[in-house]
Amino acid sequence: MLSTGGESIIVRISILVGIAALALAACFVVLTLVLRAFVNRRRAHRVAVEERWLPIMLEALRKSVREVPRLHRRDRTVVLAEWNRLVTPLSGEGVRRLRAFARNAGLSDVAHRLIQKGRPDERLVATVFLGHQQDLRAVRTLRKLVERPEPIVRSEAARALVRLDPVNGARAVAPVVVGWDDSHPATAISVLADAPDDAVADVLGESVFETYDVVRQARILEILATVQSQRAADVARRMLQRTIEPELIARSLEILRENLRPGDSVLVRRFLRHDTAFVRLRAVATLARLQAPGDQWRIVGMLDDPDWWVRYRAAQATLQSRRLDHRFVELIARIHPDRYARGALNHVLTERSP
Amino acid sequence: MSGSRIIVVEDEADIRRMLEFYLESEGFEVEGIANGGDAMDRLDGDPPGAVILDVMLPHHDGIEILGVLRANAAWKDVPVLMLTAKGGEQDVVRAFDAGADDYVVKPFQLDSLVARLNRLLAR
């Protein structure tokens, strides 16, 4: 039981806590209002700048604009971003006109200043701008930015270098972007998209043999296959003759399967007895695609492989073979001495039956 | 052909405004639409001379809109030019299968776009 004095202390403490909570809530409300006002002001400013500059830039798409308004310091990021958005979907004359406008308006100098001394968001906008503007003065700065750890900064810098000089940019950037282990290969592919496929394929075809990092080699092969599948198949053939890494052998067989030549079966056959199951699996799939004379028996020979997936793929390939009669395949399914082989074939025959 | 009414369905505001400005300065009357839902609603109205249609749109994609457009008696003969960043062979085939009259991949040339539009309108 509390005394009267004790109760009054609890009441006082409660009142103080209540006042403190109210004050804190009021602070949050004020802070929220201030932040909202700040955001609204920035948005209003952006809209105002766009309204002032967009008609001029659009006019520049049709004819040369001689009188350009003075670019205020606080407007520069918005103007550069707007210019970037306009130029990105365009090619040809429209791009040339927008570049001329940017030169007249002094946007290049602004971008150079921002890329050196701007905030991170300003640097990013300036990086994209300098790539589109094809300003050769930016090469050294952009090459430094490509080495940065931040994925968005380095990828935009790499993209800018490729836009700036598609052939030399790709040569400089391709060996670096394939080493970005923390990014998906699609990032590297998109960065190199503006470069001629031949230039990219040349660089990647060389760099794949200049490293002993298996993960990187596999990544290069994957990117190369997307850029130019024919060239990737040539590199895969060389890789199959050199490497002992199962990951690389499997990746090379996968690439080869999309661009086969008649003589490839000799290269592929030796992987049917590889120690690693996924290599044997790819070898069977590749031989099945080739349909070379005699390989149907090699594929039948894989039906008793110790790995279920290899047996299953060999059974599929046996059934798909143009060189084996369907009734003969059914006969193998009945009389094969290995019960797992019979199981795999019957499994596939059941899947295919109507 | 100048004087014709063109509908531009494009969700990126800057590209839409650029096309509106450029086509208007070429003498076209232009109506901009920002999303697939509004484009579908617009199919209840009068058909234009031609439509420039983006493929990737919010609510309904360009291919879906094109299918509905071709099934609409009043709109079925309206020339449609697809304007898109998707330049893969499958994407182009899909658009022509759905009834597109022409296909332009971003980045595009404004003058070339206008020339293609004029050719479609002249047919």
pLDDT tens by residue, A274-303: 999 999 999 999 999 998 999 999 999 999
Quote the pLDDT of residue A148: 87
What residues of A are in contact with residue B24 (Cβ under 8 Å)? none
The shares of helix, strand and coil residues in chain A, as percent rounded to the nearest 5, are 80, 0, 20
As a whole number of angstroms, the distance between CA B9 and CA B94 comes to 18
Which of B14, B106, B112 is nearest residue A86 as measured by Cβ atoms? B14
3-state class (DSSP) for residue B50:
strand
Convert the pLDDT of each residue in B75-104 to its tens digit: 999 999 999 887 778 888 999 999 999 999
Q: Residue A161 above 60 pLDDT?
A: yes
Report pTM.
0.76
Q: Per-residue pLDDT averaged across A228-241, rounded?
A: 93
3-state class (DSSP) for residue A96:
helix
**Is B106 in Cβ contact with A93 (below 8 Å)?**
no
Max mean pLDDT range (A23-37, A130-144, A151-165): A23-37
**Is B109 in Cβ contact with A91 (below 8 Å)?**
yes
**Is A92 in Cβ contact with B112 (below 8 Å)?**
yes
CA dihedral A196, A200, A202, A206 (to 10 degrees): 170
**Is B18 in Cβ contact with A61 (below 8 Å)?**
yes
Nearest to B112 by CA among B39, B52, B44: B52
Quote the pLDDT of residue B86: 79
| Closest chain B C-alpha to A96 CA, distance in angstroms | 11
Q: Would you say A113 and A143 are in contact if contact means Cβ atoms under 8 Å apart? A: no
Angle subtended at Cα A173 by Cα A169 and Cα A177, rounded to the nearest 5 degrees: 150
Q: Residue A93 above 70 pLDDT?
A: yes
Which of A54, A89, A95 is nearest residue B106 as measured by Cβ atoms? A89
**Is A95 in Cβ contact with B107 (below 8 Å)?**
yes
**Which residue stretches of chain B have pLDDT < 70?**
1-3
Q: Which residue of A has its CA nearest to B19?
A: A58
Residue type, A15: I
Quote the pLDDT of residue A154: 93
Quote the pLDDT of residue B65: 94
Strand arrangement, sheet containing B102-105: B29-33, B5-9, B50-54, B80-84, B102-105
Higher-pLDDT residue of A225, B2: A225
- B-side interface with A, Cβ within 8 Å? 12, 14-15, 17-18, 21-22, 25, 85, 106-112
Quote the pLDDT of residue A57: 92
Which run of H or E residues covers position B20?
helix B13-25
Interface test with B, best of A56, A63, A91 (most B CBs within 10 A): A91
Question: What sign does the CA torsion over A78, A80, A83, A89 have?
Answer: negative
CA distances from A282 to A216, A240, A250, A345, B47 (A): 20, 13, 6, 18, 55
